Each structure stands twice: as structure tokens, then as C-alpha cells.
Amino acid sequence: MSQLFKNKYRLSSVRLPGYDYSQAGAYFVTICSQDRLCWFGEIKNSQMILSKSGKIINKIWQLIPQYFENSRLDEFIIMPNHLHGIIILNESYRRHAINRVPTTITTNTINGGVTGMYNPMLSNDSLPKIIRWFKGRCTYEIRKKFPDQFFRWQPRFYEHVIRDDISLKNIREYIRHNPLNYNGDNYHPNSG
């Protein structure tokens, strides 16, 4: 594969190859601000104090289940320059119509364009779609409120498929204790 596309380096995907990120399950996500800039607040006495931008992030994160009815939020923390959260996806009604044969040709971007075939990356209920919505909505709201500042997210996000209850428990603990451990955190602006 070519290393350049339109004279820019290609970035390999951090997603699990072949994994359907719209399937029911628990996902641990980390979303960072561009260049690890501390937009969302600061840590004082091992407590996260949200800035005005951080309060916007908090509000929009909590709106996710209203816009994506198959989703439920679990533990999360907004840090100075990133967010850690657990999103739980439930089975979606859209997935039951995968093998349906359309009688007319229509353009349906949710199910995969003119083919009508199920494409999890285009699904309204996939993890990448939820994160794209969240990042876009936050960017819009922050820039609207602070037009003289140029808030940006890191282009990607990190995810981990939570496979069992022990892993879920450990990740919840990690999230809860993140403000205590921020100075040694990989996402701290001064970390390597």
C-alpha cells in the first residue's frame, strides 16, 4: 500500500480489523483535544474542576443516549485535555432488517447507500458514528461560545472492547481514580 495519499501520509486504523462496532457491548473510549491542550479544566487537590468548555463537553456527553437510543453511558471522567468514558450499546432494531430485500431502489445512507446492504460504519448506532457526532457537536458549541479560540479534537479516538465484568470493573476504577493519577497519566501534556 502506498504511504502517501494526496501527498499526505496515510494513518493506519486503530480499530480491530473486521470488528462490527455497532454490535451490542461495552466500549471504553478516550477522546483527546488536539496537541493535548488543556481546554476542559484543571486538576486541583486531586479533583477535576471543569472550565466553561469542560462543562459543554459534560453536557453533550450526557446527551448521547437521547440521540442514540441504543446507547447507555456508564462511568466517565472529563480531564483537562481528554475524556475517558464507557459507552454501552444495546441491540438495535435496525440490525434485524439486515437480510431484507428492498423492492425499490432508494438511497439510504444509514444502511449503505443504494445497495441497502448493512454497513456498520454507516449505521446510526455504531460507536464511530456516536463519537463523530459527539466531537462535531462539542466543536460547534465550543466555537460558537468562544469564537476567538480555535478548539480542535485529535482526529481519532481510542477504544477498547470490554470483554468481561472483571475488565469493566477495572476500567471503572481507572476512570474514577484518573484525577489522582493525572501527573503520571499518558495523556498529561508533559508526558513523553
CATH value at residue 56: 3.30.70.1290
In a domain, 74, yes or no: yes
Q: How many domains does the chain have?
A: 1
Q: What is the pLDDT of residue 188?
A: 73
Q: What is the pLDDT of residue 186?
A: 74
Low-confidence ranges of the chain (pLDDT < 70): 1-18, 92-124, 191-192
Nearest to 168 by CA among 26, 37, 42: 26
Q: What is the pLDDT of residue 30?
A: 97
Q: Are 105 and 114 in contact (CB under 8 A)?
A: yes
**CB under 8 Å to 101, separation ≥6 — which residues?**
none
In a domain, 7, yes or no: no
Coil/strand/helix, residue 150: coil
Q: Are 125 and 157 in contact (CB under 8 A)?
A: no
DSSP symbol at 11: -
Phi, psi of 187 (to 5 degrees): -95, 0
The whole-angstrom separation of Cα 142 and Cα 178 is 24
Neighbours of 58 (CB within 10 A): 16
In a domain, 169, yes or no: yes
Q: What is the pLDDT of residue 109?
A: 46
**Would you state the cell numbers that stand for residue 135, as one nine-digit string?**
466531537
Q: Which residue segment(s) compose the domain that 168 sits in?
A: 25-92+121-181
Angle between helices 52-67 and 127-145 (to 10 degrees): 140
Coil/strand/helix, residue 4: strand
In a domain, 69, yes or no: yes
Q: Where do runs of H (alpha helix) occur along the chain?
A: 52-67, 127-145, 165-177
In a domain, 139, yes or no: yes
Alpha carbon dihedral 121, 122, 126, 128, in 10-degree steps, equals 60
In a domain, 41, yes or no: yes
Residue type at 154? Q
Phi, psi of 129 (to 5 degrees): -65, -40
Q: What is the pLDDT of residue 160?
A: 94
Nearest to 54 by CA among 68, 42, 72: 42
Neighbours of 151 (CB within 10 A): 19
In a domain, 106, yes or no: no
In a domain, 14, yes or no: no
